[in-house]
């Protein structure tokens, strides 16, 4: 057992204490306290359940060893005890490894809503069209998980693609499922405008930001420059006679956010400030990670946006995630939002890497 297991009894005691507190009338009548305790209870439940499975397997191992230590043991009874001992040892290893993963420090952002920014990179209109494909893929995956999608800002092209689009996905655990999407996504296909049938390679960049709470990051209003202008869009769409579009500039960092999706100036300003706050928090986190890491490659889930993370090859119907060497020949399904296999593989990989780092520390 590693040092991580030392705190398991404390976890179990806390879990049982919460269970008692939740039955108290004064707690049940206090919505905020009740909700907070229920959240903590829910987070501890999988750890406690797995620990109980682990201790049960340890008890089974002990019983089997005691039986095998008895003199003049019947042959059939001995074989049965040996089989039980083998099963117990396998379960101890299995449940022990699962417990280690459950005890890893949790990313505090995992339960948050997520803001995703998609921008067309190399490839002009073809890149913009694929940005639209990724937006559709993410929204279909979100809808399959019953999460809400809200467009924050969009710059649409004449052919229906996006030079850039920023949207929020609201739902418990949304960030934990999308956080490994940050990076450069490469597409290889024959564009509709290609007369020679040649395969073109284009790129799209994706940035994934946890929604920042007001208490996490205070922004001094004096540091903001807010401009209004008239909305505009492809083909004359979204054009207003009033200046409802908002441009917010964070003067100390030079960060600029524009929002023109809503016809209300107030709503556009609210959305722009949400995006700005999340960008600034993400930048602070990036600087923090760089300060404590001697080698960024050893970090788990850094989401380096300069890194080519995935290739979507249309002629071969192939999707390859270069970080974990995963190749799936189910391009259509993935682009239609069936991303679970890719997401699960990424989460498993990075959790395993984090476990190795924890054990080596």
Check pLDDT > 90 for residue 2.
no
Does residue 93 share a domain with residue 123?
no
Q: Residue 75's pLDDT band (boundaries 50, 70, 90)?
A: confident
16 is a domain residue: yes
Q: What is the pLDDT of residue 5?
A: 63
- Give the whole-angstrom CA distance, residue 68 versus residue 78: 6
Does residue 273 share a domain with residue 199?
yes
**What number of CA atoms fall less than 13 Å from residue 219's CA on the CB side?**
23
Does residue 140 share a domain with residue 11?
no
Check pLDDT > 60 for residue 6.
yes
Q: By residue range, what is the domain housing residue 316?
A: 114-355
- Give the whole-angstrom CA distance, residue 343 versus residue 52: 29
The first and second tokens of residue 183, run together, are 């990076």
Q: Residue 193's pLDDT band (boundaries 50, 70, 90)?
A: low
226 is a domain residue: yes
- Give the whole-angstrom CA distance, residue 204 versus residue 308: 10
Q: What is the pLDDT of residue 49?
A: 93
Tokens 């979204």 — which residue? 238
Domain boundary among 62, 78, 102: 102
Does residue 341 share a domain with residue 225?
yes
pTM of the model: 0.67
Calculate mean pLDDT across residues 31-58: 90
Does residue 213 share a domain with residue 83?
no
Q: What is the pLDDT of residues 119-156, one digit of tens each?
A: 988 888 889 999 999 999 999 999 999 999 988 888 88
If you average pLDDT over every residue of the chain, what do you get? 82
Q: What is the CATH number of the domain that holds 150?
A: 3.30.70.1660
Structurally, the chain folds into a number of domains equal to: 2
Does residue 29 share a domain with residue 173?
no
Q: Residue 282's pLDDT band (boundaries 50, 70, 90)?
A: confident
Q: Residue 294's pLDDT band (boundaries 50, 70, 90)?
A: very low
Q: What is the pLDDT of residues 82-128, one digit of tens each?
A: 999 999 999 999 998 888 888 877 888 888 889 899 998 888 888 99
Check pLDDT > 50 for residue 293.
no
Domain boundary among 102, 128, 149: 102
Does residue 119 share a domain with residue 94?
no
Which residues are paired to 311 by β-bridges?
Answer: 186, 320
Q: What percent of the chain has pLDDT over 90?
A: 37
Does residue 315 share a domain with residue 210?
yes
360 is a domain residue: no
**What backbone torsions phi and psi does residue 172 show, to the nearest 5 degrees?**
-65, 120
CA 259 distance to own-chain centroid: 25
29 is a domain residue: yes
108 is a domain residue: no
Does residue 155 share a domain with residue 78?
no
Check pLDDT > 70 for residue 237.
no
- Give the whole-angstrom CA distance, residue 220 versus residue 330: 48
Check pLDDT > 70 for residue 351.
yes
Check pLDDT > 50 for residue 79.
yes
Does residue 147 share a domain with residue 202?
yes
142 is a domain residue: yes
298 is a domain residue: yes
- Give the whole-angstrom CA distance, residue 230 versus residue 99: 55
Check pLDDT > 80 for residue 352.
yes
Which strands make up the sheet holding 200-210, listed edge to edge?
148-156, 162-170, 114-120, 200-210, 183-189, 308-313, 318-321, 326-328
Does residue 118 share a domain with residue 203?
yes
- Give the whole-angstrom CA distance, residue 179 versus residue 309: 13
- Give the whole-angstrom CA distance, residue 286 versus residue 210: 13
Q: Residue 174's pLDDT band (boundaries 50, 70, 90)?
A: very high
- Give the whole-angstrom CA distance, residue 91 versus residue 331: 37
Does residue 200 share a domain with residue 160?
yes
Domain boundary among 79, 102, 125: 102
281 is a domain residue: yes
In terms of average pLDDT, the best of 167-171, 216-220, 224-228, 334-338 is 334-338
């Amino acid at each position: 057992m590693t040092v991580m297991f030392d705190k398991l009894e404390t976890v179990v005691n806390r879990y049982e204490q919460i269970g008692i507190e939740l039955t108290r009338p004064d707690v049940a009548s206090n919505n905020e306290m009740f909700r907070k305790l229920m959240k903590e209870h829910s987070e501890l439940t999988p750890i406690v359940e797995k620990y109980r499975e682990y201790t049960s397997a340890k008890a089974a191992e002990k019983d089997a060893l005691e039986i095998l230590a008895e003199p003049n043991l019947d042959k059939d009874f001995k074989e049965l005890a040996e089989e039980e001992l083998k099963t117990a040892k396998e379960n101890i290893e299995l449940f022990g490894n699962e417990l280690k993963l459950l005890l890893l420090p949790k990313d505090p952002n995992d339960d948050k809503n997520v803001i995703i920014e998609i921008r067309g990179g190399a490839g002009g209109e073809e890149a913009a069209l694929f940005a639209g494909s990724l937006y559709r893929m993410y929204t279909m995956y979100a809808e399959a998980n019953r999460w809400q999608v809200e467009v924050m800002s969009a710059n649409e092209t004449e052919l229906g693609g996006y030079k850039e689009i920023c949207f929020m996905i609201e739902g418990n655990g949304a960030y934990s499922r999308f956080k490994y999407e940050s990076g450069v996504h490469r597409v290889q296909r024959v564009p509709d405008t290609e007369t020679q049938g040649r395969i073109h390679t284009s790129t799209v960049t994706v940035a994934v930001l946890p929604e920042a709470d007001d208490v996490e990051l205070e922004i001094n209003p004096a540091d903001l420059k807010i401009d209004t202008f008239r909305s505009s869009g492809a083909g004359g769409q979204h054009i207003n006679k009033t200046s409802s579009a908002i441009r917010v500039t964070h003067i100390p960092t030079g960060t600029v956010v524009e929002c023109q999706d809503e016809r209300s100036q107030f709503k556009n300003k609210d959305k722009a400030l949400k995006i700005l706050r999340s960008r600034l928090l993400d930048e602070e986190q990036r600087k923090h990670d760089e300060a404590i890491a001697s080698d960024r490659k050893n970090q788990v889930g850094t989401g380096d946006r300069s890194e080519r993370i995935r290739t979507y090859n249309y002629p071969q119907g192939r999707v390859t995630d270069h970080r974990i060497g995963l190749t799936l020949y189910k391009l259509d399904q993935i682009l239609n939002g069936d991303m679970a296999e890719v997401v699960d593989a990424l989460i498993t990989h990075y959790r395993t890497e984090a476990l190795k780092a924890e054990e080596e520390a």
